[in-house]
Amino acid sequence: MDTKDKNKRNTIDEVELLEQEYEQLEASDNRRPKRLRSKEQKSKKTRSKLTDGIVLECFTNNFYRVEPTTGNMITCPLSGRFKNVDFANTRSIIAVGDRVRLDLSSDPIIEEICDRKNILRRYIPRSFPEGESQARVYDHQLDKEVILAANVDQVIVTSSIINPVINFNLIDRYLCSAELSDIEPLICITKIDLKDPENISSELNYYRNSSFKISSASATDGIGIDELTDLLKGKSTVFSGPSGVGKSSLINQLEPKINLRTGSISNYSNKGKHVTSNSIMIKWSFGGYLIDTPGIKTFGLSRKDKDKLPRVFPGFKDLAIHCRFTSCTHIVEKDCRVREATAKGTIPESRYQSYINLFNSL
Protein backbone atom coordinates (compact mmCIF):
# COMPACT_ATOMS: atom_id res chain seq x y z
CA MET A 1 0.00 0.00 0.00
CA ASP A 2 1.49 3.38 -0.92
CA THR A 3 1.45 6.38 1.46
CA LYS A 4 -1.64 7.86 -0.20
CA ASP A 5 -3.59 4.63 0.34
CA LYS A 6 -2.33 4.39 3.92
CA ASN A 7 -3.51 7.91 4.67
CA LYS A 8 -6.92 7.15 3.21
CA ARG A 9 -7.20 4.01 5.38
CA ASN A 10 -6.26 6.00 8.46
CA THR A 11 -9.08 8.49 7.93
CA ILE A 12 -11.49 5.63 7.46
CA ASP A 13 -10.22 3.76 10.53
CA GLU A 14 -10.47 6.91 12.58
CA VAL A 15 -14.21 7.17 12.00
CA GLU A 16 -15.90 5.87 15.10
CA LEU A 17 -19.42 4.66 14.60
CA LEU A 18 -21.91 4.13 17.36
CA GLU A 19 -24.22 1.17 17.22
CA GLN A 20 -27.24 3.41 16.93
CA GLU A 21 -25.61 5.22 14.03
CA TYR A 22 -25.27 1.91 12.22
CA GLU A 23 -28.91 1.11 12.90
CA GLN A 24 -30.06 4.48 11.69
CA LEU A 25 -27.82 4.17 8.69
CA GLU A 26 -29.29 0.81 7.74
CA ALA A 27 -32.78 2.11 8.33
CA SER A 28 -32.52 5.23 6.28
CA ASP A 29 -30.39 4.68 3.19
CA ASN A 30 -32.33 6.03 0.21
CA ARG A 31 -30.18 4.68 -2.55
CA ARG A 32 -33.03 3.43 -4.67
CA PRO A 33 -32.33 1.10 -7.56
CA LYS A 34 -33.54 2.30 -10.94
CA ARG A 35 -36.25 -0.38 -11.00
CA LEU A 36 -37.96 1.20 -7.99
CA ARG A 37 -38.36 4.48 -9.80
CA SER A 38 -40.45 2.83 -12.47
CA LYS A 39 -42.56 -0.23 -11.70
CA GLU A 40 -42.32 -0.78 -7.97
CA GLN A 41 -42.92 2.84 -7.06
CA LYS A 42 -46.43 2.89 -8.46
CA SER A 43 -49.13 0.74 -6.94
CA LYS A 44 -51.56 -1.04 -9.25
CA LYS A 45 -54.36 -0.06 -6.89
CA THR A 46 -56.29 2.91 -8.21
CA ARG A 47 -55.12 6.28 -6.91
CA SER A 48 -58.60 7.11 -5.61
CA LYS A 49 -58.30 4.24 -3.12
CA LEU A 50 -55.03 5.53 -1.61
CA THR A 51 -54.65 8.12 1.16
CA ASP A 52 -51.68 10.50 1.45
CA GLY A 53 -49.59 10.43 4.62
CA ILE A 54 -46.35 11.65 6.23
CA VAL A 55 -43.86 9.28 7.88
CA LEU A 56 -43.27 10.45 11.46
CA GLU A 57 -41.07 7.65 12.77
CA CYS A 58 -39.22 4.63 11.36
CA PHE A 59 -38.97 1.49 13.43
CA THR A 60 -36.77 -1.48 12.75
CA ASN A 61 -38.57 -4.45 11.07
CA ASN A 62 -39.99 -2.17 8.37
CA PHE A 63 -42.81 -0.66 10.40
CA TYR A 64 -43.53 3.06 10.25
CA ARG A 65 -45.62 5.55 12.19
CA VAL A 66 -47.57 7.56 9.66
CA GLU A 67 -49.96 10.49 9.89
CA PRO A 68 -52.61 10.15 7.17
CA THR A 69 -54.28 13.28 5.82
CA THR A 70 -57.57 11.86 7.09
CA GLY A 71 -58.04 9.81 10.25
CA ASN A 72 -55.82 8.90 13.16
CA MET A 73 -52.11 8.19 13.36
CA ILE A 74 -51.25 4.61 12.36
CA THR A 75 -48.32 2.21 12.57
CA CYS A 76 -48.05 0.07 9.46
CA PRO A 77 -45.63 -1.85 7.26
CA LEU A 78 -44.44 -1.25 3.72
CA SER A 79 -46.15 -3.13 0.89
CA GLY A 80 -44.69 -6.55 0.09
CA ARG A 81 -44.02 -5.35 -3.46
CA PHE A 82 -40.92 -3.57 -2.21
CA LYS A 83 -39.46 -6.76 -0.75
CA ASN A 84 -38.53 -8.03 -4.22
CA VAL A 85 -36.34 -5.05 -4.92
CA ASP A 86 -32.61 -5.35 -4.37
CA PHE A 87 -31.80 -2.28 -2.29
CA ALA A 88 -28.03 -2.70 -2.41
CA ASN A 89 -27.26 -3.11 1.32
CA THR A 90 -30.34 -1.20 2.33
CA ARG A 91 -32.89 -2.57 4.73
CA SER A 92 -35.32 0.27 4.42
CA ILE A 93 -35.97 2.99 1.91
CA ILE A 94 -38.14 5.33 3.97
CA ALA A 95 -36.96 8.27 6.09
CA VAL A 96 -38.77 10.51 8.56
CA GLY A 97 -40.56 13.22 6.58
CA ASP A 98 -41.23 11.02 3.55
CA ARG A 99 -44.59 11.46 1.83
CA VAL A 100 -46.30 8.12 1.20
CA ARG A 101 -49.62 6.75 -0.11
CA LEU A 102 -51.52 4.38 2.12
CA ASP A 103 -54.11 1.69 1.52
CA LEU A 104 -56.44 1.93 4.50
CA SER A 105 -59.16 -0.35 3.13
CA SER A 106 -58.18 -3.23 5.44
CA ASP A 107 -54.96 -3.54 7.52
CA PRO A 108 -53.15 -0.25 6.76
CA ILE A 109 -50.15 -0.56 4.48
CA ILE A 110 -47.78 1.83 2.69
CA GLU A 111 -48.39 1.35 -1.02
CA GLU A 112 -46.29 4.11 -2.54
CA ILE A 113 -43.33 6.30 -1.60
CA CYS A 114 -43.55 9.73 -3.22
CA ASP A 115 -40.60 11.61 -4.75
CA ARG A 116 -38.65 13.73 -2.26
CA LYS A 117 -38.32 17.50 -2.36
CA ASN A 118 -34.93 17.23 -0.64
CA ILE A 119 -32.92 15.15 1.85
CA LEU A 120 -30.67 16.26 4.69
CA ARG A 121 -27.91 13.70 4.67
CA ARG A 122 -24.45 13.01 5.94
CA TYR A 123 -21.92 10.44 4.80
CA ILE A 124 -19.74 7.94 6.55
CA PRO A 125 -16.65 6.84 4.65
CA ARG A 126 -16.71 3.12 3.94
CA SER A 127 -13.75 1.05 4.99
CA PHE A 128 -12.25 -1.37 2.54
CA PRO A 129 -10.67 -4.74 3.24
CA GLU A 130 -6.93 -4.48 3.76
CA GLY A 131 -5.17 -4.35 0.40
CA GLU A 132 -8.29 -3.69 -1.67
CA SER A 133 -7.72 -0.73 -3.92
CA GLN A 134 -10.26 2.05 -3.94
CA ALA A 135 -9.90 2.16 -7.69
CA ARG A 136 -11.83 -1.11 -7.86
CA VAL A 137 -14.77 0.31 -5.99
CA TYR A 138 -17.65 2.02 -7.78
CA ASP A 139 -18.25 5.69 -7.03
CA HIS A 140 -21.53 5.13 -5.22
CA GLN A 141 -19.83 2.60 -2.94
CA LEU A 142 -17.29 5.08 -1.64
CA ASP A 143 -19.40 6.59 1.10
CA LYS A 144 -22.37 5.37 3.07
CA GLU A 145 -25.23 7.82 3.16
CA VAL A 146 -27.19 8.47 6.34
CA ILE A 147 -30.43 10.35 5.83
CA LEU A 148 -31.33 12.63 8.71
CA ALA A 149 -34.73 13.61 7.26
CA ALA A 150 -36.63 14.09 4.00
CA ASN A 151 -38.75 16.97 2.68
CA VAL A 152 -37.59 19.63 5.12
CA ASP A 153 -37.75 23.43 4.90
CA GLN A 154 -34.91 24.22 7.29
CA VAL A 155 -32.28 22.67 9.52
CA ILE A 156 -31.38 24.08 12.91
CA VAL A 157 -27.68 23.43 13.31
CA THR A 158 -27.63 23.17 17.09
CA SER A 159 -24.39 23.71 19.01
CA SER A 160 -23.92 24.40 22.68
CA ILE A 161 -21.40 27.07 23.51
CA ILE A 162 -19.98 24.77 26.19
CA ASN A 163 -20.67 21.25 27.56
CA PRO A 164 -19.98 20.04 24.92
CA VAL A 165 -17.84 22.87 23.58
CA ILE A 166 -18.85 24.40 20.24
CA ASN A 167 -17.37 22.73 17.16
CA PHE A 168 -17.22 25.17 14.22
CA ASN A 169 -15.77 22.57 11.84
CA LEU A 170 -18.92 20.53 12.33
CA ILE A 171 -21.06 23.63 11.73
CA ASP A 172 -19.19 24.19 8.43
CA ARG A 173 -20.03 20.65 7.34
CA TYR A 174 -23.70 21.09 8.16
CA LEU A 175 -23.83 24.35 6.23
CA CYS A 176 -22.19 22.74 3.19
CA SER A 177 -24.62 19.83 3.31
CA ALA A 178 -27.62 22.15 3.64
CA GLU A 179 -26.42 24.22 0.66
CA LEU A 180 -25.88 21.08 -1.43
CA SER A 181 -29.42 19.90 -0.60
CA ASP A 182 -31.01 23.34 -0.98
CA ILE A 183 -32.20 23.45 2.64
CA GLU A 184 -32.26 26.70 4.62
CA PRO A 185 -29.86 26.46 7.60
CA LEU A 186 -30.19 28.28 10.91
CA ILE A 187 -27.32 28.20 13.41
CA CYS A 188 -28.57 28.00 16.98
CA ILE A 189 -26.12 28.45 19.85
CA THR A 190 -27.51 26.87 23.01
CA LYS A 191 -26.65 26.95 26.74
CA ILE A 192 -25.88 30.67 26.65
CA ASP A 193 -26.75 30.75 30.39
CA LEU A 194 -23.40 28.95 30.94
CA LYS A 195 -21.12 31.23 28.89
CA ASP A 196 -21.33 34.54 27.04
CA PRO A 197 -21.33 34.03 23.23
CA GLU A 198 -19.14 37.18 23.08
CA ASN A 199 -16.15 34.79 23.29
CA ILE A 200 -16.94 33.36 19.89
CA SER A 201 -18.06 36.60 18.25
CA SER A 202 -15.43 36.59 15.49
CA GLU A 203 -16.64 33.23 14.14
CA LEU A 204 -20.30 34.17 14.60
CA ASN A 205 -19.73 37.47 12.80
CA TYR A 206 -18.17 35.60 9.92
CA TYR A 207 -21.26 33.41 9.51
CA ARG A 208 -23.54 36.43 9.98
CA ASN A 209 -21.61 38.43 7.35
CA SER A 210 -21.93 35.42 5.05
CA SER A 211 -25.75 35.79 5.32
CA PHE A 212 -26.44 32.89 7.69
CA LYS A 213 -29.16 33.30 10.30
CA ILE A 214 -27.92 32.87 13.86
CA SER A 215 -29.96 32.62 17.02
CA SER A 216 -28.92 31.93 20.60
CA ALA A 217 -30.98 30.31 23.31
CA SER A 218 -31.02 28.83 26.76
CA ALA A 219 -33.50 26.04 27.45
CA THR A 220 -32.79 26.46 31.16
CA ASP A 221 -33.56 30.19 31.33
CA GLY A 222 -36.03 30.37 28.42
CA ILE A 223 -33.87 32.93 26.57
CA GLY A 224 -34.38 33.21 22.80
CA ILE A 225 -37.45 30.97 22.76
CA ASP A 226 -39.92 33.54 21.36
CA GLU A 227 -37.52 34.54 18.59
CA LEU A 228 -37.05 30.88 17.65
CA THR A 229 -40.80 30.21 17.66
CA ASP A 230 -41.24 32.91 15.01
CA LEU A 231 -38.64 31.23 12.81
CA LEU A 232 -40.29 27.80 13.15
CA LYS A 233 -43.94 28.66 12.47
CA GLY A 234 -45.42 26.85 9.49
CA LYS A 235 -42.15 25.17 8.53
CA SER A 236 -40.78 21.65 8.70
CA THR A 237 -37.57 21.93 10.73
CA VAL A 238 -34.87 19.38 11.63
CA PHE A 239 -32.97 19.88 14.90
CA SER A 240 -29.54 18.37 14.43
CA GLY A 241 -26.14 18.51 16.10
CA PRO A 242 -23.91 16.53 18.48
CA SER A 243 -25.30 14.66 21.47
CA GLY A 244 -25.91 16.71 24.60
CA VAL A 245 -26.12 20.15 22.97
CA GLY A 246 -29.73 20.45 24.11
CA LYS A 247 -31.84 19.72 21.01
CA SER A 248 -34.60 17.88 22.89
CA SER A 249 -34.46 20.36 25.82
CA LEU A 250 -34.92 23.24 23.38
CA ILE A 251 -37.92 21.53 21.75
CA ASN A 252 -39.46 20.94 25.19
CA GLN A 253 -39.08 24.66 25.94
CA LEU A 254 -40.60 25.64 22.62
CA GLU A 255 -43.60 23.39 23.28
CA PRO A 256 -43.66 21.93 26.83
CA LYS A 257 -46.40 19.41 26.12
CA ILE A 258 -44.10 17.55 23.71
CA ASN A 259 -41.97 16.45 26.68
CA LEU A 260 -39.12 14.61 24.93
CA ARG A 261 -36.64 12.58 26.95
CA THR A 262 -33.49 14.55 27.75
CA GLY A 263 -30.22 13.36 29.26
CA SER A 264 -27.19 14.43 31.17
CA ILE A 265 -23.64 15.27 30.18
CA SER A 266 -20.81 12.89 30.97
CA ASN A 267 -18.58 14.29 33.73
CA TYR A 268 -15.67 12.46 32.17
CA SER A 269 -15.85 13.69 28.55
CA ASN A 270 -18.23 16.69 28.80
CA LYS A 271 -20.21 15.12 25.98
CA GLY A 272 -23.81 13.93 25.71
CA LYS A 273 -24.88 10.32 26.20
CA HIS A 274 -26.98 9.84 23.05
CA VAL A 275 -30.36 10.04 24.74
CA THR A 276 -32.48 10.44 21.60
CA SER A 277 -32.00 7.22 19.64
CA ASN A 278 -34.56 7.55 16.84
CA SER A 279 -35.54 10.49 14.63
CA ILE A 280 -39.10 11.56 15.29
CA MET A 281 -41.37 14.08 13.56
CA ILE A 282 -43.96 15.97 15.62
CA LYS A 283 -46.47 18.70 14.77
CA TRP A 284 -46.07 22.08 16.49
CA SER A 285 -49.29 23.49 17.93
CA PHE A 286 -48.31 26.82 16.31
CA GLY A 287 -48.06 25.28 12.81
CA GLY A 288 -45.36 23.26 11.07
CA TYR A 289 -43.37 20.21 12.11
CA LEU A 290 -40.21 19.51 14.07
CA ILE A 291 -37.87 16.58 13.62
CA ASP A 292 -35.76 15.71 16.66
CA THR A 293 -32.75 13.61 15.68
CA PRO A 294 -30.14 11.56 17.58
CA GLY A 295 -26.85 13.35 18.30
CA ILE A 296 -24.25 12.81 15.61
CA LYS A 297 -20.58 12.14 16.12
CA THR A 298 -19.18 12.52 12.63
CA PHE A 299 -20.45 14.45 9.62
CA GLY A 300 -18.84 13.60 6.32
CA LEU A 301 -19.70 14.87 2.86
CA SER A 302 -19.72 12.76 -0.25
CA ARG A 303 -16.57 12.51 -2.31
CA LYS A 304 -18.83 13.00 -5.31
CA ASP A 305 -19.39 16.59 -4.11
CA LYS A 306 -15.69 17.47 -3.78
CA ASP A 307 -15.73 19.66 -6.90
CA LYS A 308 -18.63 21.70 -5.49
CA LEU A 309 -16.97 22.32 -2.12
CA PRO A 310 -14.97 25.42 -3.22
CA ARG A 311 -18.29 27.16 -3.93
CA VAL A 312 -20.54 25.78 -1.18
CA PHE A 313 -18.20 26.22 1.79
CA PRO A 314 -19.70 28.88 4.10
CA GLY A 315 -18.77 32.37 2.96
CA PHE A 316 -16.92 31.32 -0.21
CA LYS A 317 -19.72 31.54 -2.81
CA ASP A 318 -19.57 35.27 -3.56
CA LEU A 319 -15.76 35.33 -3.59
CA ALA A 320 -15.30 32.18 -5.70
CA ILE A 321 -17.07 33.71 -8.71
CA HIS A 322 -14.35 36.38 -8.84
CA CYS A 323 -11.40 33.95 -8.71
CA ARG A 324 -9.32 33.90 -11.90
CA PHE A 325 -10.18 30.24 -12.57
CA THR A 326 -13.77 29.03 -12.44
CA SER A 327 -12.58 25.70 -11.06
CA CYS A 328 -10.35 27.36 -8.42
CA THR A 329 -9.89 25.10 -5.38
CA HIS A 330 -8.58 28.04 -3.31
CA ILE A 331 -5.42 26.10 -2.48
CA VAL A 332 -2.69 26.80 -5.07
CA GLU A 333 -4.26 28.82 -7.86
CA LYS A 334 -3.20 32.38 -8.76
CA ASP A 335 -5.57 35.31 -8.20
CA CYS A 336 -7.68 33.44 -5.70
CA ARG A 337 -10.10 35.77 -3.89
CA VAL A 338 -10.63 33.30 -1.04
CA ARG A 339 -6.94 33.18 -0.17
CA GLU A 340 -6.72 36.97 -0.50
CA ALA A 341 -9.65 37.35 1.93
CA THR A 342 -7.97 34.93 4.34
CA ALA A 343 -4.69 36.91 4.16
CA LYS A 344 -6.64 40.11 4.89
CA GLY A 345 -8.44 38.46 7.82
CA THR A 346 -11.92 38.81 6.29
CA ILE A 347 -12.09 35.02 6.40
CA PRO A 348 -10.80 33.79 9.78
CA GLU A 349 -7.75 31.55 9.40
CA SER A 350 -9.61 28.85 11.38
CA ARG A 351 -12.42 28.71 8.81
CA TYR A 352 -9.95 28.48 5.91
CA GLN A 353 -8.17 25.64 7.73
CA SER A 354 -11.52 23.94 8.23
CA TYR A 355 -12.09 24.18 4.47
CA ILE A 356 -8.66 22.69 3.72
CA ASN A 357 -9.27 19.80 6.14
CA LEU A 358 -12.66 19.10 4.63
CA PHE A 359 -11.35 19.34 1.06
CA ASN A 360 -8.49 16.93 1.86
CA SER A 361 -10.84 14.49 3.57
CA LEU A 362 -12.81 13.94 0.36
Give the interface with ligand GTP as residue ranges (CB under 6 A).
Answer: 190-191, 193-194, 218-220, 243-249, 262-265, 272, 274-276, 294-295
Element (H, E) at 68: strand 63-68
Within residues 217-256, the interface with Mg ion by CB under 5 A covers: 247-248
The CB-of-20 to Mg ion minimum distance in angstroms stands at: 12
Tell me, what DSSP letter sits at residue 240? E
* CA atoms of 26 and 55, how far apart (whole Å): 17
Q: Looking at beta carbons only, is 247 or 330 nearer to Mg ion?
A: 247
The CB-of-185 to ligand GTP minimum distance in angstroms stands at: 17
163-168 CB contacts, 8 Å cutoff, 24+ apart: 163/191, 163/194, 163/244, 163/265, 163/270, 164/242, 164/243, 164/244, 164/245, 164/265, 164/270, 164/271, 164/272, 165/270, 166/200, 167/242, 168/203, 168/350, 168/351, 168/354
Residue 119: closest CA among 74, 47, 55, 51: 55
Binding Mg ion (rule: CB under 5 A), the pick from 51, 177, 240, 276 is: 276
The CB-of-26 to ligand GTP minimum distance in angstroms stands at: 19
Could you say which of Mg ion, ligand GTP, none residue 154 binds, taking C-beta under 5 to 8 angstroms by partner kind? none
* CA atoms of 174 and 169, how far apart (whole Å): 9
Binding mask 42-71 for Mg ion (x = CB under 5 A): ------------------------------
The CB-of-148 to ligand GTP minimum distance in angstroms stands at: 12
Residue 141: closest CA among 118, 120, 116, 124: 124
The CB-of-277 to ligand GTP minimum distance in angstroms stands at: 8
Q: Looking at beta carbons only, is 53 or 272 nearer to Mg ion?
A: 272
Please count the other Cβ atoms lying within 10 Å of the Cβ belonging to residue 19: 9
Q: Could you give the maximum distance between any two Cα atoms of the chain, in Å?
A: 67
Q: Looking at beta carbons only, is 259 or 360 nearer to ligand GTP?
A: 259
Window of 26-34, 169-177, 268-276, 343-351 that interacts with Mg ion by CB under 5 A? 268-276
Q: Looking at beta carbons only, is 51 or 276 nearer to Mg ion?
A: 276
Residue type at 56 in one-letter notation: L
CA end-to-end span of the chain, whole Å? 19
The CB-of-189 to ligand GTP minimum distance in angstroms stands at: 10
Q: Looking at beta carbons only, is 50 or 296 nearer to ligand GTP?
A: 296
Window of 89-97, 223-231, 276-284, 344-352 that interacts with Mg ion by CB under 5 A? 276-284
Q: Compute the radius of gyration of the chain from its Cα atoms.
A: 21
Could you say which of Mg ion, ligand GTP, none residue 220 binds, taking C-beta under 5 to 8 angstroms by partner kind? ligand GTP
Strand partners, 103: 50, 109
Q: Looking at beta carbons only, is 236 or 249 nearer to Mg ion?
A: 249
224-187-291-272 Cα dihedral, nearest 10 degrees = -90
The CB-of-217 to ligand GTP minimum distance in angstroms stands at: 7
Say how far residue 177 (Cα) sits from the centre of its chain. 7
Q: Looking at beta carbons only, is 141 or 220 nearer to ligand GTP?
A: 220
279 contributes a contact to Mg ion by CB under 5 A: no
The CB-of-28 to Mg ion minimum distance in angstroms stands at: 17
Q: Looking at beta carbons only, is 53 or 97 nearer to Mg ion?
A: 97
Which residues are at the interface with Mg ion (CB under 5 A)? 247-248, 275-276
